């Protein structure tokens, strides 16, 4: 979560608000309206699209835990 906080400081206020809203929805287990997709090659890793950013998640039971926040580019998933 520390990596996510560090990255959030570099994000514009508008994007920061959107990302925090997505994290808040994930904490309460609300997946409606989120573009969650599994990452190939991993059983418990997923990504959520938030504008030009990708929030990488780990599934823990029925909820998701944010692991990383990456700016979307051609090297995001490498």
Distance (Å, rounded) from C-alpha 42 to C-alpha 23?
A: 21
Please list the rounded mean pLDDT of every run of 10 residues in the chain (78 residues): 83 93 90 92 92 91 88 70
> Which CATH number among 3.40.50.170, 3.10.28.10, 3.30.2310.20, 3.40.640.10 corresponds to the domain 2-71?
3.30.2310.20
| The pair of three-digit structure tokens given for residue 55, joined into one six-digit string | 């929030």
Determine the 3-state secondary structure of 63 from DSSP.
strand
Complete DSSP assignment for 17-60: HHHHHHHHHHHTT--TT--EEEPTT-SSEEEEEETTEEEEEEEE
pLDDT of residue 1: 61
The pLDDT assigned to 60 comes to 85
Task: Note the pLDDT of residue 78.
Answer: 62
Q: What is the pLDDT of residue 2?
A: 78
């Amino acid at each position: 979560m520390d990596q996510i906080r560090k990255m959030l400081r570099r994000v514009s206020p508008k994007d920061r608000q959107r990302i925090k809203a997505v994290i808040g929805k994930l904490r309460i287990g609300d997946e409606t309206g989120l573009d969650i997709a599994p990452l190939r090659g991993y059983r418990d890793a997923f990504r959520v699209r938030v504008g030009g950013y990708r929030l990488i998640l780990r599934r823990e039971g029925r909820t998701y835990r944010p692991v990383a926040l990456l700016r979307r580019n051609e090297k995001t998933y490498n």
